[in-house]
Amino acid sequence: MLIDILKETGALLEGHFLLSSGKHSDGYVQCAKLLMYPDKAEKAIKLIVDKLKDIDFDIVVGPAMGGIIVSYELGRQTGKQSIFVEREDGEMKLRRGFTLEKGQRVLIAEDVVTTGKSSYEAIKVVEELGGEVVGIGCIVDRSSGNIKYPIYSGVKININTYEKEECTLCKQNIPIVKPGSRKIVEFL
């Protein structure tokens, strides 16, 4: 099960977390911890590939940084090309001589999809160049179904986020942790 691999590699943490937005959550996903292990990453991304059997696409585009490795591995397993978009002056662009041809069918690659912000930025670049987005391939889908493109994911995970004042974990006096630090940052 992918969920077990995510837990054993530390890519999925459960508990009480202080997010950079100031919100609290009962879980945290950091796919880089899974991608540390190429063999496990290969298995996780194979689950996405299995769902893409009937999907016709020419090239995979991942938004930097999170999408690059996933895009590469999706390309490797499906025999397609893999490129990435990255920020220049705050805006997502194709750089390094990467191009798309009009009408090319594009799969967007992500590690995690939550709000879809970086996916939509990548999609905008692709569509402006005349590419046709067939969907988003991702390891973890946290979107709860609010993305307007088909999502092909390894696993769907529901993580609850709370405003500080409304956090049920705070009300239970569970110590809060800043993801990545593993240190308790405050007792509430």
Q: Rule CB under 5 A: which residues touch Zn ion?
A: 24, 167, 169-170
User: Between 140 and 169, whose beta carbon lies closer to Zn ion?
Assistant: 169
Q: Copy the structure tokens of residue 53.
A: 């059997």
Closer by beta carbon to Zn ion, 13 or else 170? 170
Q: What residues have CB less than 8 Å from 4, skipping those under 6 apart?
A: none
Shortest Å, Cβ 183 to Zn ion = 16
State residue 18 phi and psi, 5-degree precision.
Answer: -95, 115
Give the shortest CB-14-to-Zn ion separation in angstroms: 14
CB of 166 to Zn ion, least distance (A): 9
| Residue 107 or 176 having the CB closest to Zn ion | 176
CA distance readout (Å), 35 to 10, 41, 45: 11, 5, 10
The kind and range of the H/E element at 47 are helix 38-51
Q: Which is nearer to Zn ion, 89 or 187 (CB)?
A: 187
The strands making up 132-141's β-sheet, listed across from edge to edge, are 91-94, 81-88, 59-63, 105-113, 132-141, 151-156
Smallest separation, CB 19 to Zn ion (Å): 10
